[in-house]
Structure formats: structure tokens, C-alpha cells
Chain A
Amino acid sequence: MGRFSLGWAAVSTWAVLVYVFMFLPVAVVVLLSFNASQFGAFPMTGFSFRWFVELAENEAILRAFRTSIVLGLLTAVISTTLGVLASLALVRYRVPGANTISTFLIAPILVPEVVLAVALLLFLNFLGLHKSFALLLFGHVIFTLPFVVLVVQARLIAIKPELEEAAQSLGASPIQTFFAVTLPLMAPAVAAGALFAFTISFDDITGTLFWKPGGVETVPTQIFAMLRNSISPEINALGTVMIVMTVGLPLIGAAVARRLAARSGG
């Protein structure tokens, strides 16, 4: 009996259906991106890479990719730096009002992104900073920061402070300790935070549509602009490339992290 009951069977079936619901549409995007038919819809008329070739020759899409990657990397560097420093303070020190500070730092995800986008756009515009790459970067930093803080904090808690105390009691200065002990131990947390920031920035469309200057497109806003006409096979191909990038990168990252951890452990 127990988990082989009728109830469990129903729950399992339901769960399978939920997974199918989650993945089927995405699978169809990937499938159709290889469709030879020129309309980018069913029926599948054959297997072809032509849409990927066309993507690679589409100057607008390549430009969008460059913009997204540069934006994502800069966002990741800045956001991770701010987030790691703040997390260190919150995990390693007894800070008065730590809970309030935490809530303050994750506030950007508690405020609806549209509202954050409007407020930042209008305020910086008032200060004379109009829609620009800089505004886009500020925006991406502020709404990726909470995710970095959450992810990095969760991982920092797992590092034992005794190791640092040991280094200091053996004569290392606080700065030496940081670079020789803390930073190597923190590396996976830092990497996870950076990866998170990059992926969220790379995916963002809600704020980006408010902040981007005319003529500048990121990959999501480019897809959005292309959708206005109709769904083309190129969009499916672009979708497939995005899926490979945003799903592939974290998986590779996780694999590399495990490798590093195994090496330092052995």
C-alpha cells in the first residue's frame, strides 16, 4: 500500500502532466527551428539548418546579441561585486538591523518591475541621463542585485569562519586571509551569483523596453519586435539559440564548479 495507492498514482500522473505542460511548448520551438518549411509552422516538411544560417547572417540579430552579451557581462561584474560585499557583511558580521538591511537589499524584486522601470527612467532623465546604454546598465544592476545577494548569502553561510580564524591566528593579515582563504572558498558562490546576474540580465525584457534607447535592441526585445509581424522560423531558431545559451551556460558552470570542488577537495 502506501505510496502505491490510487492517490499516489493520481499525484504522479498529474506531476507528469505538469512537466509536459512546462516543456512541450519549448520543445516545439526547438523542433520547428529545424523545420525546412518556409513558414515556420506545422507541418514539418524536412530537417534543415537554414534558419540558423539566416540568423548568423542577420546583422540586426547579431547586433542584438552583442548588446545583450556586453550588457549581461557588465551587469554581472557590477552586481556581483556589490552583492558579494554586502553578503559578506551580512553573513560575517553581527550587523544591527540585519533583517531590515536584507529586506532593503531585496526590495528591487518586491517592487513590480514596471514600477521600478518607470521610477528609474524618469528620475535619471530628470538628472539629465536620458535613455542610453548607461541607463540600461543601471537598471539591470539594480534588479539583478537582490538575486545575487540571495544566492551568495545562501552559499556563504555554508563556509566555516573557523578556517579564516585559523589563518589569522597563524599570522595572516585580514587582507591576506581574504585572498588566500575566503576568496577561494567563496569562488563557487561568486560564480553562481555572476551567472545568475548574467542570465537574468540576458533574459530581461520588461525593464529593458523602458530603458533602451531607440535603435538599440537586446535579444529579447529583438524577438519581441519580430513577433509584431508574425512568428517566423527565424524566431524559433533564435529561441533555440537562447535556450542553448541560458540553459547550457549554467549546466556547464555547475559542471566546472563540481570539477573545481573535486580538485580542491582531493
Chain B
Amino acid sequence: MSSVEAREARQPWILLSPALTAVGLLLFVPLIFIVVYSFWLRTATGADVAGFHLDNWAEALTDAFYRDILISTLRIAAITTVVCALAGYPAAYFIARSRGNKMILLLLLMLPFWISYIIRTMSWINILGVSGAINSALMALGVISEPINMLYNETTVILGLVHFLLPFMILNIYVSLEGIDTNLEDAATSLGATRWQSFLEVTLPLSLPGLAAGGLLCFVLGAGTYITPLVLGGPTDAMFANLVFEAIITQLNWPLGSALSLMLLAVLGLLVAIYNRYLGMAQLMKGLG
């Protein structure tokens, strides 16, 4: 190999090295570190004892409290994902098939991405709160005399999550609907299928990759949240990430917090791995880019 070729081959690695180093040192090494750390012990005095102790893992894996919250976290994420899919599919279909201002519709859909998550989450207090829009309207109309308590339960947590995650779902479905040749639908109808049949037999199956990508994003992002339950949930609506936050920030039990984080990572990572195995990451990147 001549020296010019060698330089040519080196150049991309020089360009890549800062980013690769950053991700390596700030993500992968820290992840390996917390694996090690999860086997350490935090003593009552606050000092860490290095070593190979299974105590944190025993607590994280056997304590019914953690298990119940893990299950309810997965349930909340699953319900959120299903609601997003049901609500988002027709909207995505509308955007993909409308002949009007597709750009405007997409831009409107992108706008929530630019509006702060915490603002969008807390905005529901203005709607559902004791002196929120719904209670005020009902009281002004004389339907109720006392405000109804609608906030701070699991339903409002799911509502907040759906509001946050719906654009991810719609965008992913839209991307895959856009990629479908509309002639296929026309062909199906001209061969005698009703529009509904051609949708069920042709369009829906072809758009499943987008639906799956959107579903994965909604589930993983939903299951990893701790802000939404803190803002819109009640005292019993903690999700798994709240436990991590409690262990790390409040109790300062970092080895236990490491074990809990890794549990969450393992469960959600398994889903990503299954997705990657069957559908590959390309579809997901299409939706993100």
C-alpha cells in the first residue's frame, strides 16, 4: 500500500476518533463501571466496600416491591404504546394520503418535539386540575358543584406519556406509509377488493415496520421515564426509573442504584435486541432522521 493510500485509509478514523472516544468514555466505560459497582456494598457510614457482593442484586431481584413496580412500569408502557398506535395510525394515514399541505401537517406534528417535555407534561394540570379547564367549565355550566379530582393517578400518567410519545409513533408510521406505492392499493381495488380490504391486505402489512419502530420507541421511552409520574402521578404511581432516582439521589445507595439501573437496561435492552434481530435498526433510523 502506498503512503497516499495509507493516509486515505487513516483519514476517516481521524475524523471518527473524537466522537468514538466520547461515546466510549462517557457511555460504554461508565456502563461497564456500574456493572462492577453493582456488586459493591454501601455501608451505613456511606463508604463503599469494593468486592463481589450479591446483596444488591438479591434485593433488586427478590424484593416484591421492586418486582411489582417493574411489572406496573411495563404495563403502563404497554398501554401507552397501544394507545399511541391506535390513536396515531389514522393520523399518520391521513398525513400520508392527504393531497393537501402535507408539509404543513408534518411541520405541525414536529412542533411538539420542540416544545419542552416538562411544559407539555405540566400543561395537563391546567386542563384536569381542580381549577383546570374541565372543572371550571363543568362548574360554570352547573353540571357539578364541587371540582372532580381527575389528576394524580395512573390514567393521567398514561395520558401524559401518550401526549409526549404520540408524535414519535405517528412519524414512524408516516415514514413507512410514504414508502408504499399507492398503485398497490389501486391494483387491489381494481381486482375487486373493497378499499377496506385493500387496506387490511396490502397497506397495513406493508406499514408494520413503521408501526413496530414507533412502538419500540414509545415503549422504551415510556418505560424509562420518571418525570411524568412525578408530575402527573400520585404517591403510589412510581415507575421503575423513580426507584432508580430514589436510590441514587435520595438514599445515595449507589451500588443498589446501579443494580436497579442495569435491571431496567436489561429489560429494555432485550426488547431492542429482539427488535434488531427481526427488523434491524435501519427502520428506526429512518424514523429518527
Contact = CB atoms under 8 A, between A and B. Distances in A.
B268 interface: yes
Interface string B1-33: 000000010011101101110110011111101
Max count, chain B CB within 10 A of own CB: residue among A89, A108, A119, A126: A119
Given A154-B289, A247-B111, A41 B15 contact: no
Max count, chain B CB within 10 A of own CB: residue among A5, A14, A25, A81: A25
Given A19-B108, A206-B227, A142 B22 contact: yes
B12 A203 contact: no
Interface stretch (B53-61, B85-93, B204-212): B85-93
Interface stretch (A53-61, A69-77, A97-105): A97-105
A36 interface: no
Contact of A25 (B20, B163, B220): B163
Contacts of A118: 34, 244, 248, 257-258, 261
B19 A123 contact: no
B279 interface: no
B19 A25 contact: no
A86 B15 contact: yes
Interface residues of B, number: 88
Contacts of B95: 15
Given A26-B119, A142-B26, A203-B116, A85 B126 contact: no
A12 B140 CA distance: 32
B82 interface: no
B125 interface: yes
16 contacts: A5-B195, A21-B87, A21-B163, A28-B127, A85-B15, A89-B12, A93-B8, A109-B288, A111-B27, A114-B241, A118-B248, A119-B34, A142-B23, A150-B285, A203-B117, A239-B122
The 3 closest A-B pairs by CB, nearest first: A112-B224, A42-B136, A123-B30
